[in-house]
C-alpha cells in the first residue's frame, strides 16, 4: 500500500528533523533539563530537611513525654565508681580489658552491657569466670552485694547500657512487672518464664 505525502502536517511542521539547519545557525539548546535537575535537587534536599526535622522533633517529644526507664539507682556516685574501678582492675581487667573493650579469646566487651548485666553475672557467681566457655554456670558469688553494686556503677559509668529494673515489692503493679519481664528477661527465659 502506498502512502501519500501531502506536505507538512496541520501544525506546519515537517515529519522529520533536518540534520543541518537551513540557515547554518547552531541549534539552540533547551535549558529545561537543567531546571528539572535543580528542581529535583531542591525536592531531595527539602525532603531530607523535613525528615531530619521530624526525627529531631520525635526524639524531643519522646524525651519530654517518656516516663522513667524503670531503672533503679545503682549508686553511681564517684565513690562507688572509684571502688568499682579498683575491683575491676583486680578481678576483671585481664579478660575484659582496661577500657571494657574486651580481650580477644579471653572475654567479651562490656561496652553497652550496663549495670543490669553486671549485677546479674556477678551476683549469680558466673563472673569472675573460673574458665573459658560459652556459658558460665551459677556458683557462689565471690563479691558482696555492695561490691557488686560498685562494679556495676563502674561499668555503667564507662560503658552505659541498661540499668537494673526497679523491683516490685507488692502486687500493686503486676502489669508493669510483666512489661519489665517481657522487655528484659523474656528473650532468654521465654514468655512463660520456663526458658
Q: State how far the alpha carbon of 8 is from the alpha carbons of 16, 17, 24, 188, in Å.
A: 10, 12, 22, 80
- Kindly tell me if the per-residue pLDDT of 72 is higher than 50: no
Q: What are the tens digits of pLDDT across the range 124-183?
A: 888 888 777 777 778 888 899 999 889 899 988 887 887 876 665 566 677 777 887 788
C-alpha–C-alpha distance, residues 195 and 21, integer Å: 83
Model pTM greater than 0.75? no
pLDDT at residue 169, rounded to an integer: 59
DSSP 137-187: PP---SS-HHHHHHHHHHHHHHH--PPPBPPP-SGGGHHHHHHHHHHHTHH
Is 136 within 8 Å of 122 (Cβ atoms)?
no
* Chain mean pLDDT for the chain: 76
Is 103 within 8 Å of 178 (Cβ atoms)?
no
pLDDT at residue 74, rounded to an integer: 44
pLDDT at residue 158, rounded to an integer: 85
C-alpha–C-alpha distance, residues 123 and 127, integer Å: 8
pLDDT at residue 75, rounded to an integer: 46
C-alpha–C-alpha distance, residues 143 and 155, integer Å: 15
pLDDT at residue 99, rounded to an integer: 85
Amino acid at each position: 500500500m502506498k502512502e501519500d505525502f501531502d506536505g507538512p502536517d496541520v501544525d506546519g511542521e515537517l515529519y522529520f528533523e533536518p540534520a543541518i539547519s537551513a540557515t547554518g545557525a547552531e541549534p539552540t539548546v533547551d535549558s529545561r533539563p537543567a531546571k528539572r535537575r535543580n528542581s529535583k535537587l531542591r525536592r531531595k534536599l527539602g525532603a531530607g530537611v523535613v525528615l531530619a526535622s521530624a526525627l529531631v522533633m520525635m526524639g524531643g517529644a519522646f524525651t519530654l513525654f517518656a516516663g522513667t526507664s524503670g531503672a533503679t539507682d545503682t549508686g553511681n556516685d564517684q565513690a562507688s565508681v572509684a571502688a568499682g574501678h579498683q575491683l575491676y582492675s583486680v578481678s576483671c581487667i585481664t579478660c575484659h580489658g582496661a577500657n571494657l573493650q574486651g580481650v580477644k579469646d579471653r572475654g567479651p566487651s562490656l561496652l553497652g552491657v550496663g549495670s543490669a548485666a553486671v549485677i546479674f553475672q556477678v551476683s549469680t557467681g558466673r563472673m569472675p569466670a573460673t574458665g573459658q566457655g560459652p556459658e558460665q554456670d551459677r556458683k557462689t558469688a565471690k563479691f558482696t552485694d555492695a561490691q557488686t553494686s560498685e562494679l556495676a556503677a563502674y561499668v555503667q559509668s564507662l560503658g552505659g547500657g541498661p540499668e537494673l529494673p526497679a523491683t516490685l515489692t507488692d502486687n500493686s503493679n503486676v502489669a508493669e512487672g510483666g512489661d519489665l519481664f517481657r522487655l528484659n528477661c523474656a528473650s532468654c527465659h521465654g514468655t512463660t518464664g520456663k526458658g
